[in-house]
Chains A and B, each alone.
Chain A
C-alpha cells in the first residue's frame, strides 16, 4: 500500500512554463513534507520542506502548496529552466519507534524542461 501517491509520472514543459507535481497522503501522523530532487546518477537532494500548519512555502522559484484538509500537497516550479530537468520525489516524514523518524517517498516524477 503506497502511503504517498504522486502524479504525474512524467512531465514535459517548455522553458518558462510552470510544471506542477501533485502528491496525496493518507496517514495523518505525517508531520513534515519534503521534496527531493534527483539528477541522473546522483542521490536525491532536499529541495524544500513544509510543515502541515503552513499552507504555502516559497524558496526561490520553488513553491510548495499544502492542503491539510484534503491531505494533498504540490510543488510548483516558476519560470522553469532546462537545468530543472530531473526526477522529483515528494515525501512525508513521521515519528516511529522511540526517537526514530521514517521518511516515506512518493513514486517520483520525471520532469523534462525543453529549451
Chain B
C-alpha cells in the first residue's frame, strides 16, 4: 500500500515549456486535489476532483489543467510554464466525507518545480 505517489520529485523547466506532474493513489479515494506550497503562504488549492470525470477549480487554477479519467490517477498539467509557477506541488487524496466526520487528506511527498 504505497498511499499517494507523486512523480517526478524534482523538475527544472524553461519558461514556456509544458509538463505533467503525475499523482496516483492506491487507497480507492474519491477525492483528489492539487496544492502548491510557497514560503509564507501555506498550501493553496489549485484544482480538485470528487470522482472520475469530475474536476473543479480551487483558489489558484490559472496556468494549470487537470483531468480525472480513473479513480487512481489525477495528473496536473502546466501548459506554458512561468517563473511564478516555481513552487512545491502536493497531491492529496481522501475519502468522501461522511456526515459529521472529518476525512483526513493524505498527501504525497511533493514535486519541487523550478521554472527558469
Residues of A at under 8 Å CB distance from B?
4, 6, 9, 32, 34, 41-46, 49, 51, 89, 93, 96-108
Starting from the known contacts A51-B102, A93-B102, A107-B41, 16 additional A-B residue pairs (CB-CB under 8 Å) come to A4-B42, A34-B102, A41-B110, A43-B90, A43-B92, A43-B107, A43-B110, A44-B107, A99-B50, A103-B33, A103-B45, A105-B42, A105-B44, A106-B42, A107-B40, A108-B40
Q: Let me know if A98 and B90 touch, CB within 8 A.
A: no
Chain A residues whose CB sits within 8 angstroms of the CB of B97 once the complex forms: 101
Given contacts A46-B105, A51-B102, contact A9 B40 (CB under 8 A): yes
Q: Let me know if B56 and A97 touch, CB within 8 A.
A: yes
Bound Cα distance A73, B90 (Å): 25
Q: Nearest B residue to A90 by beta-carbon distance?
A: B42
A-B contact pairs, 6 of them (CB 8 A): A43-B4, A43-B110, A46-B105, A99-B96, A100-B31, A108-B40
Q: Separation in Å of the B16 CB from the closest CB of chain A?
A: 29
Bound Cα distance A103, B41 (Å): 14
Given contacts A99-B50, A101-B97, contact A44 B109 (CB under 8 A): no
Given contacts A43-B4, A43-B90, A89-B43, contact A103 B105 (CB under 8 A): yes
Chain B residues whose CB sits within 8 angstroms of the CB of A103 once the complex forms: 33, 45, 105
